[in-house]
Structure 1
Amino acid sequence: MRRIITFGTFDVLHVGHVRILQRAKAHGDHLTVGLSSDELNFSKKGREPVYPYSSRYEILTSMRFVDNVFMEESLEEKRNYIIHHRADILVMGNDWEGKFDEFMDICQVVYLPRTPSISTTEIIEVIKDSH
């Protein structure tokens, strides 16, 4: 069995998220998602996520191609998360190209192209500007 792992916030879920998760799962048999905690999201992006962790978790666990979701609480723990979940392949969007190459000693690292013209940040800005 080939085990895939990916990480993200998956806030304001959109078709780009769905497509990258489907494409990640296509690399193996089991897809685990490290879902950023609300606190980790704030430390990375300087803002609270639109949807709390519990809602984002519920959405991801309902997707048929996502096999497991866990709370990612620390960026510094990625290596341990990969080892703990026995991942063979780490899949990330190509906006992170090269940033996870340090894990090539414990798993294959694959960067997938993002869906063009779709961004959570842009969606949030459009919604804010319309009010």
Structure 2
Amino acid sequence: MRVITFGTFDMFHIGHLNIIERASQVGIHLTVGVSSDELNFSKKQRFPICNERDRMRIVHALSCVNEVFLEESLELKAQYIKTHKADCLVMGDDWLGKFDEFKPLCDVIYLPRTPAISTTQLIEIVYEVGKNSEC
């Protein structure tokens, strides 16, 4: 089974690794769509800390990842599924139900997120530490 998943994967952390490793266990081939800098800005009104090229390199370096591509549009998810011949779309359960529209194209599985970690949370912690430092 060919599996596809999507994410920004900014400031790569254990939650990212957990979801990618678990997605890879669903099938025999894992393709990961990494959100472009522009797509991330359109969703969150901020650019990622790490640029798209570096984020793609980090994800591609994982032994459980077979293929990485740049996700440039949310509206192209169906096309990405078809292009990469995915049998299954895997996403975190924070997106529960949001990708059910793709069930005619492939299986859709929502995996539990790693508790108590998120990129947004890490950015806020780093910002607060920097703001309160005496340097």
The two structures share one fold, judged by TM-score above 0.5 = yes
Over the residues paired in the alignment, what is the CA RMSD in angstroms?
A: 0.4
Structure 1: unaligned runs, 5 residues or longer: none
Equivalence for 2:84? 85
Poorly superposed stretches of 4+, deviation over 3 Å: none
- Aligned identity (percent) is 57
**Does residue 1:32 correspond to 2:31, yes or no?**
yes
Structure 2: unaligned runs, 5 residues or longer: 131-135
Equivalence for 1:56? 55
Equivalence for 2:133? none
Offset at 1:77? 0.3
SS at match of 1:124: helix
Q: Deviation per CA, 1:7-57, whole angstroms, max 9, x where unpaired?
A: 000000000000000000000000000110000000011100000011101
Q: Deviation per CA, 1:88-127, whole angstroms, max 9, x where unpaired?
A: 0000000000000000001000000000001110000000
* C-alpha distance in structure 1 between counterparts of 2:53 and 2:36, whole Å: 9
TM-score, normalisation: structure 1: 0.98
Equivalence for 2:123? 124
Paired residue type of 1:23: R
SS at match of 1:130: helix
Paired residue type of 2:109: V
Alignment of 1:71-82 (within 5 A): 71-82=70-81
Q: Deviation per CA, 1:54-75, whole angstroms, max 9, x where unpaired?
A: 1101111110001100000000
* C-alpha distance in structure 1 between counterparts of 2:7 and 2:45, whole Å: 15
Paired residue type of 2:33: G
**Does residue 1:45 correspond to 2:44, yes or no?**
yes
Larger-Rg structure? 2
**Does residue 1:103 correspond to 2:102, yes or no?**
yes
